[in-house]
A and B are shown apart, each in its own frame.
Chain A
Amino acid sequence: MTERPLPLAMDIVERSDTNMVLSMGPQHPSTHGVLQVIVEIDGETVVKADPEIGYLHTGIEKSAENLFWTQASTVVERMDYLSPLSNAMAYILGVEKLLGVADQIPQRAQQLRVMLCELSRIASHCVWLGTGGIDLGAISGFFYCFDLRERILDLNEFSGGARMHPNYLRIGGLRDDIPAGFLEKVDELIAMYYPRMRELRALLQKNPILQDRMIDVGILGADDAIAWGVTGPALRAAGVAYDVRKAFPYSGYEQLDFEIPTRTEGDAYARFLVRLDEMDQSMRIIEQLRANLAGGPVMVADTKYAPPPKETIAVSMEALIHHFKYVSESFRVPPGDVYSPVEGPRGETGYYLVSNGDNRPWRVRTRPASLYNLQVLKKIAVGEFIADMVVMIGSLDPVFGEVDR
């Protein structure tokens, strides 16, 4: 097949005599990763913005197709590296639907999954809040945010063994039960969270300089947000109360009491406030789960899909065989396709999974929330000042592991 020569992005921008074309990034501290935005400016006003992505493309979808179903959850966690658990959650829920074991997941496992996902939502928003503040010159907030995030990553390490990519969520449940003392550490976190958020709100939300930079910047209306496929806090800041946790409840979210914060202004400050309120709602969910955590197993009983308990391997021939097969060949998944969405920190994270009956996925397609949220920059940047680009990129909160995959 012959490839026609393709124009470079710089050539696509139509230049005129008065306008200037500027390449922002990919090595720019405020683009939150490797994003290049080719902006055409008239004076200081943006006339056209064309984000160029792909600098972090690692072929995760292709890698996942060549791994076992059980192994692929490790690589999908690497996409959205600020909240790896929500990606693993969407993938695992999809595989469980394909296997037909979705209704057999023990309640304790579901509750712990939701608790860990909400913790990672708070951790992800902490990074956004800290780095978003730095973009606007507020350095101090960064340290308080990252302190809070470190405590959540410590919990990840305590339960799953790794700070960022624990691979603790498994098909069929969790790898292990939480260690003794975990819930006490969650209590400590709950106790320190609210005073810390009060400090952060005093430091950042009420800061007049930040308000001046964010209010009425990057306005995104509800109709535009829907047409551009924007989900998550950016959509809710435009007044559309769509949240997968309420619209298509999964893993017991229907039994939890929480609200969906919305604003109607649709500017960067509204997105800022929605995310802050979301952190409080996540903490509400964690408190409820902490109070009502069920007992019992954390893995499905069927040893086809779960490794048998370690203590049975030494005494049972069958358990040993199952364990060997589980590790060396994984399991076969009945043919079919499924779309499995969850509400990640950035919006609807969905997995379209296709199985052809083999022990490896035929196709793992991610619906990356960040990709669609970032695309709308083309729309909202027009007519704004070039200096406000960093505010708009920060308020959309893209993660380039997920945009580029």
Chain B
Amino acid sequence: MPSSQTPPAGSTAVDPTAVRPPIDDARIVRTTPDALRAELLALKNDGFAMLLDVGGVDYLERTPRFDVVYHLLRGMTAPQPERVRVLCGVDGPEPVLPTVSDLWPSANWAEREVYDLFGIRFSGHPDLRRIQLPDDWVGYPLRKDYPLRGPALERTPRPSFALKSNVAAGTPVFGKTAAALQRQIVAARAAEAPKDGEK
């Protein structure tokens, strides 16, 4: 019997969606930010009346870095309903996509959530504010370079949870960075110094 840890072919793929043929019942369409609106409008006119979901994925090392995934549905009461999944790659330090909240009102909150958690902006969105996090939050938590416990807590030692997000963010798994340790040593010595002088 082979070991359970034999890595499968194409292990740790940078772009998993490209290495495997589709395994669910959805048709998959790939598009670019420029063609996105035309593509989705054509699908809507083709009968895909329901936009089920808009989600984001951060592939970190891939170019384009992000995928925004649209799930569409048509023929809800037909004998054979049909799904389509539109994947749109988007890149850049400030990624921007055109909004589709005017085509499907359901996209309104979904796009706000993608903006909130991934920092992908949607041009033309009527109300692009953070939705889950507080309005003054800094950073986009579902990006892979955002530490799991947040920047404020990333130096707190918690070995079992310091996993790949922290590695990507450059934090050692055991918590404190070397620089922070150095600062602590300097502070401790400075606190001791006047006591020696008094003696």
Residues of A within 8 A of B (CB): 1, 3, 6-9, 12, 53-54, 57, 59, 61-63, 65-66, 97-98, 100, 226-231, 240-242, 247-248, 303-304, 318, 322, 325-326, 329, 331-332, 334-340, 348, 350, 352, 354-358, 360, 362-363, 365, 367, 371-372, 375, 379, 404-405
Q: Please state if B55 and A362 are interface contacts (CB–CB under 8 Å).
A: no
Instruction: Tell me whether A248 and B81 are in contact in the complex, defined as CB-CB below 8 angstroms, given that A8-B135, A62-B141, A356-B14 are known contacts.
Output: yes
A214 to B103, CA, bound (A): 31
A153 to B49, CA, bound (A): 38
Q: Please state if B4 and A375 are interface contacts (CB–CB under 8 Å).
A: no
For residue B85, give the distance in angstroms from its CB to the closest CB of chain A: 6
Q: Please state if A379 and B105 are interface contacts (CB–CB under 8 Å).
A: yes
Q: Please state if A336 and B94 are interface contacts (CB–CB under 8 Å).
A: no
B13: which A residues are within 8 A, CB to CB? 335, 356-357
Q: Please state if B23 and A338 are interface contacts (CB–CB under 8 Å).
A: yes
Q: Please state if B24 and A354 are interface contacts (CB–CB under 8 Å).
A: no
Instruction: Tell me whether A54 and B71 are in contact in the complex, defined as CB-CB below 8 angstroms, given that A62-B148, A97-B24, A335-B16 are known contacts.
Output: no
CB neighbors of A among B66-81 (8 A): 69, 71, 76-77, 81
**A324's closest neighbor in chain B, by CB?**
B4
**A305's closest neighbor in chain B, by CB?**
B4
Known contacts A229-B52, A371-B110; 8 further A-B pairs (Cβ under 8 A): A61-B142, A226-B50, A331-B4, A334-B8, A338-B23, A354-B17, A357-B7, A360-B164
Label chain B's interface by main secondary structure.
Answer: loop
A66 to B129, CA, bound (A): 27
Q: Please state if B11 and A357 are interface contacts (CB–CB under 8 Å).
A: yes
**B107's closest neighbor in chain A, by CB?**
A229
Q: Please state if A242 and B141 are interface contacts (CB–CB under 8 Å).
A: no
Contact with A along B54-97 (1 / 0, CB 8 A): 01111100000000010100001100010101000000011000
Q: Please state if B106 and A362 are interface contacts (CB–CB under 8 Å).
A: no
For residue B153, give the distance in angstroms from its CB to the closest CB of chain A: 12
A404 to B113, CA, bound (A): 10
For B16, B108, B117, the residue with the greatest tally of chain A CB atoms inside 10 Å of its CB is B16
Instruction: Tell me whether A335 and B52 are in contact in the complex, defined as CB-CB below 8 angstroms, given that A371-B109, A375-B106 are known contacts.
Output: no
Instruction: Tell me whether A66 and B148 are in contact in the complex, defined as CB-CB below 8 angstroms, given that A57-B132, A371-B109 are known contacts.
Output: yes
B131 within 8 A of A: yes
Contact with A along B5-25 (1 / 0, CB 8 A): 101111111101101100111
A228 interface neighbour in B106, B132, B134, B148, Cβ under 8 Å: B106
Q: Please state if A229 and B51 are interface contacts (CB–CB under 8 Å).
A: yes
A339 to B52, CA, bound (A): 11
B127 within 8 A of A: yes
B19 interface neighbour in A66, A303, A331, A335, Cβ under 8 Å: A335
Q: Please state if A352 and B4 are interface contacts (CB–CB under 8 Å).
A: no
The 5 closest A-B pairs by CB, nearest first: A229-B106, A336-B20, A242-B76, A335-B16, A365-B55
For residue B94, give the distance in angstroms from its CB to the closest CB of chain A: 7
B1 interface neighbour in A318, A338, A363, Cβ under 8 Å: A318
B127: which A residues are within 8 A, CB to CB? 12
A54 to B24, CA, bound (A): 31
Interface size class of B (residues with CB under 8 A): 35 or more
A367 to B119, CA, bound (A): 19
For residue B160, give the distance in angstroms from its CB to the closest CB of chain A: 10
Instruction: Tell me whether A354 and B104 are in contact in the complex, defined as CB-CB below 8 angstroms, given that A304-B4, A331-B4 are known contacts.
Output: no
Q: Please state if A1 and B69 are interface contacts (CB–CB under 8 Å).
A: no
A53 to B108, CA, bound (A): 13
Instruction: Tell me whether A59 and B71 are in contact in the complex, defined as CB-CB below 8 angstroms, given that A348-B52, A356-B16 are known contacts.
Output: no
A98: which B residues are within 8 A, CB to CB? 23
**B18's closest neighbor in chain A, by CB?**
A335
Q: Please state if B52 and A350 are interface contacts (CB–CB under 8 Å).
A: yes
B132 interface neighbour in A338, A354, A404, Cβ under 8 Å: A404
B130: which A residues are within 8 A, CB to CB? 6, 54
For residue B107, give the distance in angstroms from its CB to the closest CB of chain A: 8
Q: Please state if A355 and B16 are interface contacts (CB–CB under 8 Å).
A: yes
A226: which B residues are within 8 A, CB to CB? 49-50, 76
Q: Please state if B76 and A247 are interface contacts (CB–CB under 8 Å).
A: yes
Q: Please state if A242 and B81 are interface contacts (CB–CB under 8 Å).
A: yes
**A102's closest neighbor in chain B, by CB?**
B23
Q: Please state if B132 and A53 are interface contacts (CB–CB under 8 Å).
A: yes
Q: Please state if A350 and B71 are interface contacts (CB–CB under 8 Å).
A: yes
Q: Please state if B50 and A367 are interface contacts (CB–CB under 8 Å).
A: no
B5 interface neighbour in A318, A325, A365, A371, Cβ under 8 Å: A325
A65 to B143, CA, bound (A): 11
B26 within 8 A of A: yes
Instruction: Tell me whether A356 and B106 are in contact in the complex, defined as CB-CB below 8 angstroms, given that A57-B132, A240-B77 are known contacts.
Output: no
B141: which A residues are within 8 A, CB to CB? 59, 62
**A97's closest neighbor in chain B, by CB?**
B23
Q: Please state if B53 and A352 are interface contacts (CB–CB under 8 Å).
A: yes
B113: which A residues are within 8 A, CB to CB? 371
A360 to B165, CA, bound (A): 12
A241 to B78, CA, bound (A): 9
Instruction: Tell me whether A357 and B16 are in contact in the complex, defined as CB-CB below 8 angstroms, given that A54-B131, A61-B142 are known contacts.
Output: yes
Q: What are 15 contact pairs spanning A and B, CB under 8 A? A: A12-B127, A54-B131, A226-B49, A303-B4, A335-B10, A339-B85, A350-B71, A357-B12, A362-B57, A365-B56, A371-B109, A371-B113, A372-B109, A375-B105, A375-B109
B71: which A residues are within 8 A, CB to CB? 339, 350, 352, 367
For residue A372, give the distance in angstroms from its CB to the closest CB of chain B: 5
B106: which A residues are within 8 A, CB to CB? 227-230, 372, 375
